[in-house]
Amino acid sequence: MERQSSALHAHALDVRAGDCWILQQLDVRLHAGRWTSVVGPNGAGKSTLLRALAGLLPLHGQVTLLDRAWETWGMAERARALAWLGQGERASDDLCAYDLVMLGRLPYQGWFGSPDAQDRAAVENALRATQSWDWRSRALAELSGGERQRVLLARALAVQSQVLLLDEPLAHLDPPHQADLLQVLRALVQQGRTVVSVLHEISFALQADQMLVMAQGRVLHQGACADSATHQALVQVFENRLAIHALAGQWVALPCTPA
Amino acid sequence: MTQRSAWGTGLAAVALCLVVVLLGLCAGSSGLDTLGRALLDASASDGAQATARQILWEIRLPRTLGALAAGALLGLAGALAQGLFRNPLADPFLLGSASGASLGVALALAFAGGAVWGAGESRVWVHLGLTGAAFLGAVLAVALTLLLSRGVQHTLRLLLAGVVVGVVLGACSSLVLVLQPALLQTMQGFLLGSTSLIAWPACVLMLLVWVFCASIAWALGRFLDALSLGQATARSLGLASPGLRGLLIAVLALATATAVAQTGLIAFVGLAAPHLVRATVRVSHRQLVWLASAAGALLLAGSDLLARSVLAPQDLPVGLLTAVLGGGYLLWLMRRGAPGNTV
Amino acid sequence: MPGCAPARCACLPYRTWIGMCFLVLALALLAGSHAARAFEVRDARGETLRLEQAPQRIVSLLPSLTETVCALQQCQRLVGVDRYSNFPATVRSLPQVGGGMDPDVEAIVSLHPDLVLVPLSSRAALRLGSLGLRLFALEPQTHDELRDAFLKIGELLALPQAGARWDALDAEVLSAAAAVPPRLRGARVYFEASEGLYGAGAASFLGSTLERLGLRNILPPEMGAFPHVNPEYVVRANPDLILLAQDNAHNLAQRPGWSRLRALRLQQVCAFGPADFDAMVRPGPRLGEGARAIVACLRGLAP
């Protein structure tokens, strides 16, 4: 794909956390209007990559976001263009769901601004998309794990950004809600947004458009999910303990013992 | 829905503050009727009238308003501390400001000695002397904590540094007292929380500082809310975390130091005020800033009222009553299981 | 003043003499009142207090100053005292206005005092001063400072007999010193001022009293007025006499190493009741009484 259609492009990316280099000399291209899933074994650096691309870790290397160099983006501008949802996020139990999702509109509000109609509409859309509208005034303390995760997702959706970086968005969700969320992500991609997700469930990851296979801080393979090369890379990175099958029009990954 | 309850609670708090001011004019060594008679009775001697006027306007009113202002400062500082550190047990003295103030007073007394009391011409310096020393000590202690924790990024490191600084500076002021035991009584007299010596200048100063700090805290209320999602998320939402955290810590230090310099160390107000608010109504940080100030103000001013009236004409230590009142109310709320209560 | 001579004098008509009499009388009165008006006294802070007339309503915030005022027979001028003032018994019925460190500002103001005696190290003094009250700061810590305070208060209250009164009080100490049994003259003494081994050093008021009684303090002046003593130090110093309050006198022998102290072996321990103890420790005019109490105990010790 030509460079013009990449939402995020990182070249020779080095990311350090603390004293050690977690990601070294990465070359990552995330295509615009596509859903890319990042997979790999534990400790591969997937979360670190997402955090780095969200601007939460110091970056070394060349990065372009939406065809502009990283350095030209102001913080508030970047916050409007890029939303990040961390893994296992905690939130104060005091806030009610609505207020928490409204926090996602912070990049659009100044210090003294109050929510306007646009903000409220965005929040409502986000809550409805995650089926959380009915209990929007309940405090977080009263919600179950899955409900809380949906509210946090709604917060990320409320930003209405071009690029969404989601780290384990399906955690704590039961299958119906997992399916719902995947539908939401697909709808967003169809609208032209870019979604990057780190997913533990390989089967769900295989439903994306592109896949980034990582291991030990390096990118092993980057390609379409339907590609057999991608499947091979996947199996290899999991030490041949994984088998990928086609089932009802989808790719499904199942653990297996090596032959 | 949350908006209305917050407004209602706020208005109720303001009304209570007015009631407290009125009661404050009544409570004291002599009842309002005696003073009222002295003021209104034309045949009363000039001396009695002047005394009554002096007692009401120069002693009781600044004391009550000063207690409200100091309580507001401590309540605000408590809300900031709990929001910044995401810890419901945080209080304004978390970053070592209490020990810093003690050490400041101890050093001022040890080095300036008699100069702090004498030199009638420079009344301003004398007044600045101990209150200024307490203020500087508190602020410098927080600065030391920030230095020790190498910035404001890591919450745990910040808290640990605060504890270390508190303990070390406390030991230093104990050392000063050991070397100069004559200072002990004076220091205790200064540091024992007391609202009985608040004059108009101190009162006005505290009110001004409160307006300043509360405005900044209100402006940064959204940031505090976002912080509750975690520092990383707050950053991803475009809020420059280190700079804003540093600013909030500075505001926290300023509010705490001002209150400590004027009234000594009064425990529990900063800790209890945000909880009292949260147990009554669910609010975001923007509203919490004002409501916690109001709760702290009412708690301290109410305790001051009781301190003056329960065993009149004796004056009980106000710190005793803030603990009893605040703690008692919190216990009652916990037992009742108030809605939205996370305690 | 020249008498009003009858008209026997031929120099001037008697009306002129009467006029001169009145003139001289007026001048004398004027001069007298001018001398009585606006006298100034300096307090321990170095601040000068200017008074037109001797104060009649006094509030005292330090027990030793209360006792001083009463020792000058001016108890009736006291209208309020602090909560620690307990001597003489008449002051206990006066309104109590808090402590020296934390006075009740309102109560003091409503007593309309024209003089407030405050301790040196009181923060509240600033507040009281800003309310227009006249303050005089004194905090005697040694015999000399007490004499100074005594004389200054005498000056404030316009009492010319203050000096003589002080001499009488001081003489009591001298006579007490004369009554110390000969074998105990120059004995080494340890006075425990407070629980937790706070000893009275040579630099304290009590230390001065002990010195004037001819007793040697095991705590040298360098240690300060009330040092926190290491019990080992007392054991090494091995005093001949131990003086302390009755409340702290139990199980002295149980203190580690103390059972071998000469004072305990020879039963040369004096335990004083609260009234006597107050008189000894407080830097006030009862120094003679305190000295006598010590000497009485010393005389009661078996040889």
Among B4, B215, B222, B227, the strongest candidate for a mutation testing the A interface, having the largest count of A CBs within 10 A, is: B222
Question: Is residue B61 scored above 50 in pLDDT?
Answer: yes
B185 and C104: CB-CB below 8 Å? no
Q: C272-291 pLDDT, tens per residue?
A: 998 889 888 899 999 999 99
Question: Is residue B116 scored above 60 in pLDDT?
Answer: no
User: Picking from A228-242, B89-103, B127-141, which range would have the lowest pLDDT averaged per residue?
Assistant: B127-141
pLDDT of residue B4: 56
In C67-106, the residues whose Cβ lies within 8 Å of chain B are 95-98, 101-102, 104-106
pLDDT of residue B41: 65
Does residue C191 or residue C23 have the better pLDDT?
C191
Q: Which of B86, B236, B284 sits opposite A54 (nearest CB)?
A: B236
Q: What is the mean pLDDT of residues B307-332?
A: 83
pLDDT of residue A197: 93
* Contact in structure between B262 and B205 (CB atoms under 8 Å): yes
**A121 CB contacts (<8 Å, ≥6 apart)?**
none
Q: Which of B86, B219, B233 sits opposite A112 (nearest CB)?
A: B219
Separation between Cα atoms, residue A35 and residue A193, nearest integer Å: 8
- Closest chain B residue to C113, measured at CA: B51
pLDDT of residue B161: 93
The residue ranges of chain A whose pLDDT is under 50 are: 1-4
A103 and B225: CB-CB below 8 Å? yes
Which chains does B contact via 3+ CB–CB distances below 8 A? Answer: A, C
pLDDT of residue C28: 58
User: 0.90 cut: is pTM over it?
Assistant: no
Q: What is the mean pLDDT of residues C161-180?
A: 91
In C220-239, the residues whose Cβ lies within 8 Å of chain B are 224-228
User: Looking up tokens 């919450």, which residue turns up?
Assistant: B155
Which chains does C contact via 3+ CB–CB distances below 8 A? Answer: B
pLDDT of residue B243: 84
Q: What is the mean pLDDT of residues B310-332?
A: 83
Count of beta carbons in the 10 Å neighbourhood of residue C271: 17
- Please indicate if any CB of chain B lies within 8 Å of the CB of C142: no
Q: Which residues on chain A are in Cβ contact (under 8 Å) with B230?
A: 86, 89-91
User: Would B343 be classed as within a structural domain?
Assistant: no
**How many residue pairs from chains B and C have C-beta atoms closer than 8 A?**
88
Question: Is residue B53 scored above 60 in pLDDT?
Answer: yes
pLDDT of residue C294: 92
CATH number for the domain spanning B71: value is 1.10.3470.10
Q: Which fold has domain A33-56+74-233?
A: Rossmann fold (3.40.50)
Separation between Cα atoms, residue A198 and residue A221, nearest integer Å: 15
Q: Which residues on chain B are in Cβ contact (under 8 Å) with A159?
A: 237
User: Would B12 be classed as within a structural domain?
Assistant: yes
pLDDT of residue C91: 92
Q: What is the mean pLDDT of residues B293-303?
A: 95
User: Would B36 be classed as within a structural domain?
Assistant: yes
Q: What Rg, from alpha-carbon coordinates, does chain B have?
A: 21
pLDDT of residue A82: 92
Q: B192-209 pLDDT, tens per residue?
A: 788 888 889 999 999 999
- Closest chain B residue to C110, measured at CA: B51
Distance from the A112 Cα atom to the nearest Cα atom in chain B, whole angstroms: 6
Residue B199 DSSP symbol: -
B238 and A76: CB-CB below 8 Å? yes
Q: Which residues on chain B are in Cβ contact (under 8 Å) with A148?
A: none
pLDDT of residue B96: 92
Separation between Cα atoms, residue C18 and residue A93, nearest integer Å: 100
B196 and C104: CB-CB below 8 Å? yes
CA separation (Å) from C204 to A146, C13, C201, C282?
74, 70, 6, 10
Separation between Cα atoms, residue C125 and residue B57, nearest integer Å: 19
Chains C and B touch (3+ CB pairs under 8 A): yes
Q: What is the mean pLDDT of residues C235-243?
A: 91
- Please indicate if any CB of chain C lies within 8 Å of the CB of B121: no
Distance from the A88 Cα atom to the nearest Cα atom in chain B, whole angstroms: 10
Among A106, A143, A153, the strongest candidate for a mutation testing the B interface, having the largest count of B CBs within 10 A, is: A106
C101 and B117: CB-CB below 8 Å? no
A68-69/A242-247 β-pairing: unpaired
- Please indicate if any CB of chain B lies within 8 Å of the CB of A84: yes
Does residue B261 or residue B241 have the better pLDDT?
B261
A91 and B278: CB-CB below 8 Å? no
Q: What is the mean pLDDT of residues C145-153?
A: 91
Question: Is residue C114 scored above 50 in pLDDT?
Answer: yes
Question: Is residue B213 scored above 90 in pLDDT?
Answer: yes
B282 and A139: CB-CB below 8 Å? yes
Assign A162 to helix, strand or coil.
coil
Q: Mean pLDDT across chain C, nearest whole number?
A: 85
Tell me which H or E stretch contains B38.
helix B32-40
Distance from the B183 Cα atom to the nearest Cα atom in chain C, whole angstroms: 8
User: Would B341 be classed as within a structural domain?
Assistant: no
User: Would B342 be classed as within a structural domain?
Assistant: no
Distance from the A80 Cα atom to the nearest Cα atom in chain B, whole angstroms: 8
- Please indicate if any CB of chain B lies within 8 Å of the CB of A56: yes
User: Looking up tokens 């010195």, which residue turns up?
Assistant: C211
Here the ipTM equals 0.86
Separation between Cα atoms, residue A246 and residue B104, nearest integer Å: 74
Q: What is the mean pLDDT of residues C96-101?
A: 85
CA separation (Å) from A79 to A37, A242, B47, C5, C286?
21, 37, 69, 112, 79
Does residue C228 or residue B99 have the better pLDDT?
B99
pLDDT of residue B341: 46
Which of A102-111, B178-187, C180-189 has the largest mean confidence? C180-189
User: Would B236 be classed as within a structural domain?
Assistant: yes
pLDDT band at C9 (very low <50, low <70, confident <90, very high): very low
Among C121, C128, C136, C205, the strongest candidate for a mutation testing the B interface, having the largest count of B CBs within 10 A, is: C121
pLDDT of residue C39: 80
- Please indicate if any CB of chain C lies within 8 Å of the CB of B205: no
Distance from the B340 Cα atom to the nearest Cα atom in chain A, whole angstroms: 7
Does residue A97 or residue B342 have the better pLDDT?
A97
Q: Which of B47, B59, B183 sits opposite C106 (nearest CB)?
A: B59
Domain coverage including residue B54: 2-336
Which of B309-313, C106-110, C247-251 has the largest mean confidence? C106-110
Dihedral over Cα of C22, C23, C27, C30: its sign: positive
B185 and C120: CB-CB below 8 Å? no
Q: What is the mean pLDDT of residues C73-81?
A: 93
Total structural domains within chain B: 1
Question: Is residue C29 scored above 70 in pLDDT?
Answer: no
Question: Is residue B256 scored above 90 in pLDDT?
Answer: yes
